[in-house]
């Protein structure tokens, strides 16, 4: 039911939908320092305001929750279905071949930061609501679109919003891929470090500047070495470069050897697809004949706890898995080291079997054995699980199968989606299986055909769940 009407409705809407997505892509909505009335900085606030303008233009009743979240209601009925999308993005990084904040259409793809994660899906959701309202204006249940602005940095937006307006009974977020993601692993992201008195003994490492974003495999890392020649450091770089594939550049400046490592970024939930420049740098520095100082011992201990290619926390002692949710993943993604100490952070996606005893306590003991301590974020984030036999999951899977001809199934992922804290919520779309949108990497894109397919699927879901 409704299939022909849905197909007809979207037959001539592609250009409008792509234009709307580009309106949001053009706003650099990476989190910044807060300003009055802008809890996550100017960019995320501007994206929310533009999203609200678009919804107002479509005739929806909207509400602004202090520039943390905006909402739009399908009709005047109580909201039964929630759709959650976010308008913030991660940093563009480097390596783009097209402008990251423009919106470039080429060969059936829409390029730009946020095109796939999550501005494209957000706009598709707007249009699905508009289509459902026009196809059947007499639906007996409501839909609430929830657009936030801090998903990429821990979902503080939802933490602020949900106590004020609880989520509808069922929800989905187009923040990942098809078919249905009903299990999201837990997370452990402790910030840890150590301090020491400056020691002038040479050779020494005077600085390491690694990653700054927790949930991304570090693409670039720099370091400075004092008391060694560039040729000596180059020999160590060559050995690690050959072993890891991470590329090193060595220069000299003001009597110090400056080293740059270039790897391949990837989402922390799939670290095997990247090459961690930060870990490669630590491995290289640990191999140098540094003076026996607290700084050198810290570097060697970091290399021991986080060896290159160990994507499962084996060296840390936390590797584990279960049949339902799979194997733990771990990425050492943030590091800043100076003359008197360091702080670092890893991003671990933990299966349903992980708990304080076999995860947090084990990691903290390994840190303590190295003279490190947890500075913040020591607690674990529990996993998310919505039963596969729920009405929501069954409806989503049937609609997916009807529109794609592909087998629908519920799957578990290591990535956290926007419904991780929403009881009864799942992730659903917008990428088809096998599509690598380069989320969080250079040249992120969305497949335009998949966006249009998602608009139709979401419309059908709204009409079926809210009839």
Report helix, strand or coil for 196. coil
pLDDT value at residue 115: 98
79: exposed, middle or buried (Cβ count in 10 Å: 0-12, 13-18, 19+): buried
Q: How far apart are CA 34 and CA 407, in angstroms?
A: 45
Element containing residue 329 per DSSP (H, E) = strand 329-338
DSSP-derived letter for residue 287 is: T
pLDDT in tens, 157-191: 999 999 999 999 999 999 989 999 999 999 999 99
Global pTM value: 0.72
Q: Which residues contact 135 (CB under 8 A, 6 or more apart)?
A: 2, 5, 6, 9, 459, 463
pLDDT value at residue 21: 98
Residue 452 has a CB neighbour count (10 Å cut-off) of 18
Tell me the percentage of the chain whose pLDDT exceeds 70: 100
Whether 416 has a pLDDT exceeding 80, the answer reads: no
Give the torsion through C-alpha atoms of 298, 299, 301, 305, to 10 deg: 130
What separation in angstroms does the CA of 79 have from each of 85, 86, 136, 166, 314? Answer: 16, 19, 16, 10, 45
What structural domains does the chain harbor? 3-185+383-465 (3.40.630.10), 187-380 (3.30.70.360)
Confidence band of 414 (pLDDT split at 50, 70, 90): confident
pLDDT value at residue 258: 98
What separation in angstroms does the CA of 94 have from each of 253, 337, 444? Answer: 24, 23, 12
**What mean pLDDT do residues 229-248 have?**
98
pLDDT in tens, 56-88: 999 999 999 999 999 999 999 999 999 999 999
Q: How far apart are CA 92 and CA 171, in angstroms?
A: 29
Q: How far apart are CA 411 and CA 310, in angstroms?
A: 24
Give the torsion through C-alpha atoms of 35, 39, 43, 45, to 10 deg: -110
Q: How far apart are CA 409 and CA 266, in angstroms?
A: 25
Give the torsion through C-alpha atoms of 52, 53, 55, 58, to 10 deg: 170
Confidence band of 403 (pLDDT split at 50, 70, 90): very high
Whether 420 has a pLDDT exceeding 90, the answer reads: no
pLDDT in tens, 239-274: 999 999 999 999 999 999 999 999 999 989 899 999
């Amino acid at each position: 039911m409704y299939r022909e009407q849905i197909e007809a409705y979207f037959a001539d809407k592609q250009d409008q939908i792509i234009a709307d997505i580009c309106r949001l892509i053009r706003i650099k909505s990476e989190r910044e320092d807060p300003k009055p009335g802008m809890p996550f900085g100017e960019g995320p606030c501007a994206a929310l305001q533009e999203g609200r303008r678009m919804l107002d233009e479509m005739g929806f009743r909207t509400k602004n929750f202090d520039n943390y979240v905006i909402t739009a209601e399908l009709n005047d009925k109580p909201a039964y279905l929630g759709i959650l999308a976010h308008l913030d993005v991660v940093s563009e990084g480097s390596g783009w071949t097209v402008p990251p904040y423009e919106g470039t259409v080429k060969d059936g793809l829409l390029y730009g930061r946020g095109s796939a994660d999550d501005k494209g899906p957000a706009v598709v959701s707007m249009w699905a609501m508009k289509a459902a309202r026009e196809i059947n204006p007499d639906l007996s249940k409501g839909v609430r679109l929830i657009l936030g602005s801090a998903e990429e940095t821990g979902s503080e937006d939802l933490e602020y919003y949900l106590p004020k307006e609880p989520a509808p009974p069922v929800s989905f977020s187009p923040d990942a891929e098809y078919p249905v993601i009903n299990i999201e692993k837990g997370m452990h992201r402790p910030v840890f470090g150590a301090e020491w008195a400056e020691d002038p003994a040479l050779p020494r490492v005077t600085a390491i500047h690694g990653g700054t974003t927790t949930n991304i495999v570090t693409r670039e890392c720099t370091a400075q070495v004092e008391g060694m020649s560039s040729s000596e450091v180059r020999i160590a770089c060559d050995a690690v470069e050959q072993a890891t594939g991470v590329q090193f550049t060595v220069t000299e400046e003001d009597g110090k050897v400056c080293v740059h490592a270039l790897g391949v970024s990837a989402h922390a939930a799939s670290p095997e697809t990247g090459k961690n420049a930060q870990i490669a740098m630590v491995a290289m520095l640990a191999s140098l004949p540094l003076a026996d100082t607290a700084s050198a011992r810290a570097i060697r201990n970091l290399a021991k706890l986080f060896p290159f290619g160990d994507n499962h926390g084996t060296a840390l002692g936390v590797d584990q898995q279960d049949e339902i949710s799979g194997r733990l993943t771990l990425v050492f993604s943030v590091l800043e080291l100076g003359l008197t100490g360091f702080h670092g952070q890893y991003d671990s996606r933990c299966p349903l079997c992980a708990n304080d005893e076999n995860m947090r306590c084990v990691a903290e003991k390994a840190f303590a054995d190295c003279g490190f301590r947890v500075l913040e974020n020591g607690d674990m984030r529990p996993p998310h699980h919505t039963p596969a036999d729920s009405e929501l999951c069954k409806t989503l899977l049937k609609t997916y199968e009807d529109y794609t001809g592909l087998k629908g199934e519920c799957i578990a992922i290591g990535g956290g989606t926007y419904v991780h804290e929403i009881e009864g919520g799942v992730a659903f779309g917008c990428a088809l299986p096998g599509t690598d949108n380069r989320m969080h990497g250079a040249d992120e894109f969305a497949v335009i055909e998949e966006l249009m397919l998602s608009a139709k699927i979401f419309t059908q879901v709204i009409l079926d769940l809210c009839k």
